[in-house]
């Protein structure tokens, strides 16, 4: 099978012909239809995340059909359409798993980081961590739902549902999905992009943002909550500055540059800061349930598998509106 392989961090992926993997017990072999490119893939490739399995096939926004099962895969069967997210395995026995917080599992494995992912024609996944999808999701454009959508949802879900004014810092794949959900639920979205990124601001408007501006502009109204998707630590004190008393600032990314020190009065007034780590399977079930009443449209730029390096570079430079997706079929 054709695959794009990370052999060494900070180096381009290598296009390879590899044997199709065999599913073990509890696993399924998936013919990959499409795999979205997540910012986390950049953090893996650029060595912001330090411990990938190498060599590695990146990619954790996978949509495809099951072509073989390794036995003991509960309700999944051949020809089912499934989505494969970032969390690819949890142990079920550590204190976090037992407390229903499998996203924090001490022994978790991650698709496209510590297990091979979807930048390939085929991939093997643990059946318990695949989401069975209706055939209506049989479209490459839906692959970003598997991480950008899910992490955006988990971040948004952390906010008190009574909050009305929500700031979003960094308007990429996650933001464009969750903005549609938030607007449908009557929220006012204040979208902050890189300064001077008028195209990004226009895009945020199209997705339903109430106000858009550069991240160094002050919010025109106090924010009840903020989600930071950009990997920029400076945005944290800025978001606190924009926040109303009691405001919640949620960091949605897996990596952020260092946060500068800031005066306590920015946090005072019961403002809070929280990070979002990974996802639970329940998040996935809840998210796809929500999409039944709020169907979102994803904006994607699609690339061939062998164009992965080019696509990653465009994402790195902020040149992708919405989400980049590798299409295998
Ligand atoms: Zn665990
Ligand atoms: Zn991701």
* d(CA 220, ligand 2 centre) in Å: 31
pLDDT in tens, 41-65: 999 999 999 999 999 999 999 999 9
Task: Pick the ligand that lies closest to the CA of residue 58.
Answer: 2
Task: Pick the ligand that lies closest to the CA of residue 101.
Answer: 1
CB 238 within 8 A of CB 219: no
Which tokens hold the place of 237?
């004190």
* d(CA 79, ligand 1 centre) in Å: 30
Residue 245 confidence (pLDDT): 98
* d(CA 1, ligand 2 centre) in Å: 24
* d(CA 325, ligand 2 centre) in Å: 12
Q: Which residues pair with 175 in a beta bridge?
A: none
Res. 329: pLDDT tops 90:
no
Name which of 133, 126, 94 is nearest 29 in CA terms: 126
Task: Pick the ligand that lies closest to the CA of residue 39.
Answer: 2
Which tokens hold the place of 132?
């069975």
* d(CA 40, ligand 2 centre) in Å: 5
Q: What is the spatial distance between Cα 11 and Cα 45, in angstroms, rounded to a whole number?
A: 7
* d(CA 98, ligand 1 centre) in Å: 7
Q: What is the spatial distance between Cα 86 and Cα 77, in angstroms, rounded to a whole number?
A: 21
The CA radius of gyration of the chain, in Å to the nearest whole number, is 19
pLDDT in tens, 70-83: 988 988 999 999 99
What are the CA-CA distances from residue 84 to residues 80, 112, 113, 300, 310 (Å)?
Answer: 12, 10, 13, 18, 23
Q: What is the average pLDDT score of the chain?
A: 96
Task: Pick the ligand that lies closest to the CA of residue 85.
Answer: 2
Residue 146, CB-side half-sphere exposure with 13 Å CA sphere: 37
Three-class SS of residue 247? strand
pLDDT in tens, 122-144: 999 999 999 999 999 999 999 99
* d(CA 89, ligand 1 centre) in Å: 9
Task: Pick the ligand that lies closest to the CA of residue 87.
Answer: 2
- Looking at residues 284-310, what average pLDDT do you find? 96
* d(CA 111, ligand 2 centre) in Å: 9
As residues whose CB is below 5 A from the ion ligand 2, the structure lists 38, 40, 147
pTM of the model: 0.93
The percent of residues in the chain predicted with pLDDT above 70, rounded, is: 100
Task: Pick the ligand that lies closest to the CA of residue 110.
Answer: 2
* d(CA 91, ligand 1 centre) in Å: 4
- Looking at residues 268-292, what average pLDDT do you find? 96
Q: Are strands 131-132 and 211-214 parallel, antiparallel or unpaired?
A: unpaired
* d(CA 158, ligand 1 centre) in Å: 22
Residue 74 confidence (pLDDT): 84
* d(CA 181, ligand 2 centre) in Å: 19
pLDDT in tens, 168-212: 999 999 999 999 999 999 999 999 999 999 999 999 999 999 999
* d(CA 26, ligand 1 centre) in Å: 17
Residue 221 confidence (pLDDT): 98
pLDDT in tens, 147-157: 999 999 999 99
* d(CA 76, ligand 1 centre) in Å: 23
Q: How confident is the model at residue 318 (pLDDT cuts 50, 70, 90)?
A: confident
CB 166 within 8 A of CB 184: no
Tell me: cis bond preceding 247? Omega within 30 of 0 counts: no
């Amino acid at each position: 099978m054709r695959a794009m392989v990370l052999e060494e961090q900070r180096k381009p992926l290598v296009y390879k012909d590899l044997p199709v993997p065999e599913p073990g017990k509890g696993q399924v072999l998936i013919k990959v239809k499409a795999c979205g490119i997540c910012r986390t893939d950049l953090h893996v490739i650029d060595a912001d995340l330090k411990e990938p399995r190498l060599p590695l096939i990146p990619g954790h926004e996978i949509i495809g059909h099951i072509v073989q099962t390794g036995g003991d895969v509960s309700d999944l069967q051949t020809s089912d359409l499934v989505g494969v997210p970032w969390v690819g395995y949890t142990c079920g026995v550590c204190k976090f798993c037992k407390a229903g917080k499998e996203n924090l599992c001490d022994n978790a494995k991650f698709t496209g980081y510590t297990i091979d992912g979807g930048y390939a024609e085929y991939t093997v996944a643990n059946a318990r961590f695949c989401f069975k999808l209706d055939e209506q999701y049989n479209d490459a454009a839906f692959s970003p739902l598997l991480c950008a959508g899910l992490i955006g949802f988990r971040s948004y879900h952390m906010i008190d549902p009574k909050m009305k004014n929500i700031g979003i810092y960094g308007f990429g794949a996650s933001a464009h999905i969750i903005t549609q959900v938030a607007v449908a639920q009557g929220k006012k979205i204040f979208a902050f992009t890189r300064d001077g990124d008028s195209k990004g601001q226009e895009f945020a408007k199209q997705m339903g943002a109430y106000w858009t501006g550069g991240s160094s502009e002050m919010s025109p109204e106090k924010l009840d909550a903020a989600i930071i998707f950009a990997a920029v630590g400076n945005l944290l004190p800025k978001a606190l500055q924009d926040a109303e008393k009691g405001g919640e600032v949620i960091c949605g990314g897996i990596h952020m540059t260092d946060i500068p020190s800031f005066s306590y009065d920015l946090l005072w007034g019961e403002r809070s800061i929280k990070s979002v780590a990974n996802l639970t399977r329940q998040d996935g079930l809840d998210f796809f349930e929500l999409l039944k009443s709020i169907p979102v449209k994803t904006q994607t730029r699609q690339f061939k598998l062998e164009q992965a390096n080019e696509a990653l570079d465009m994402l790195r430079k902020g040149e992708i509106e919405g989400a980049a997706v590798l299409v295998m079929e």
